[in-house]
Chains A and B, each alone.
Chain A
Amino acid sequence: NAGVTQTPKFRILKIGQSMTLQCTQDMNHNYMYWYRQDPGMGLKLIYYSVGAGITDKGEVPNGYNVSRSTTEDFPLRLELAAPSQTSVYFCASSQTGSVGYEQYFGPGTRLTVT
């Protein structure tokens, strides 16, 4: 019962470096999401995907890129890291996009950019 897994759990980046946050789900969900959580704030949607090969921007996509080549994987790419990207990143998935369906969250990746 792995559910949604994320790697790494923690990472420190220097300004201008790049990295990829990995996300994998084993529930055969079509919908996948990336959120960021800043202190004292709710989660903000970065990107989402409704199926393999289909992605779209959320509320705060600048500075990030995604791809969805398989149903299981939805990596998030940070190019030219900036201090404003210091946050906790959560990946989530859901069975469908139907209203009322639960999203399942991974444990998060805590990223610090210095």
Chain B
Amino acid sequence: GDSVTQMEGPVTLSEEACLTINCTYTATGYPSLFWYVQYPGEGLQLLLKATKADDKGSNKGFEATYRKETTSFHLEKGSVQVSDSAVYFCALSDRGSNDYKLSFGAGTTVTVRA
């Protein structure tokens, strides 16, 4: 079945540091890949997505590239801010499934200190 494995946290960084959160996946079909972000006390919101191999999703300074050969979708940001403190979830939806549900990783808590 479909599954997502992402880097365990928590991760604590200083402002302006580089952030990388690793995400790898297993899927039976041709998945689309997503990064969702959950700010404290809020629901999840889409950060970026990629729907086919070699696509790069980007938003708010974050980037992730869909790597089919390594089944990965790592999230990166070159210079983080305090406002980036949140929980980040990698997820996939698989073209091979019938219900197009999202399969989520466990989430990575990121704290950025001033």
Contact = CB atoms under 8 A, between A and B. Distances in A.
Contact of B106 (A40, A45, A97): A40
Contact of A100 (B36, B51, B103): B51
B43 A99 contact: no
Nearest to B44: A105
Nearest to B94: A99
Given A42-B106, A56-B99, A99-B51, A106 B32 contact: no
A33 interface: yes
Contacts, number: 64
Interface string A37-51: 000111111001010
Interface of B: 4, 30-32, 34, 36, 41-46, 49, 51, 89, 91, 93-95, 99-107
Given A4-B43, A44-B104, A100-B93, 18 more contacts: A40-B107, A41-B106, A43-B44, A50-B99, A58-B101, A90-B43, A90-B44, A98-B100, A99-B32, A99-B95, A100-B49, A101-B100, A103-B102, A106-B43, A107-B41, A107-B42, A107-B43, A108-B43
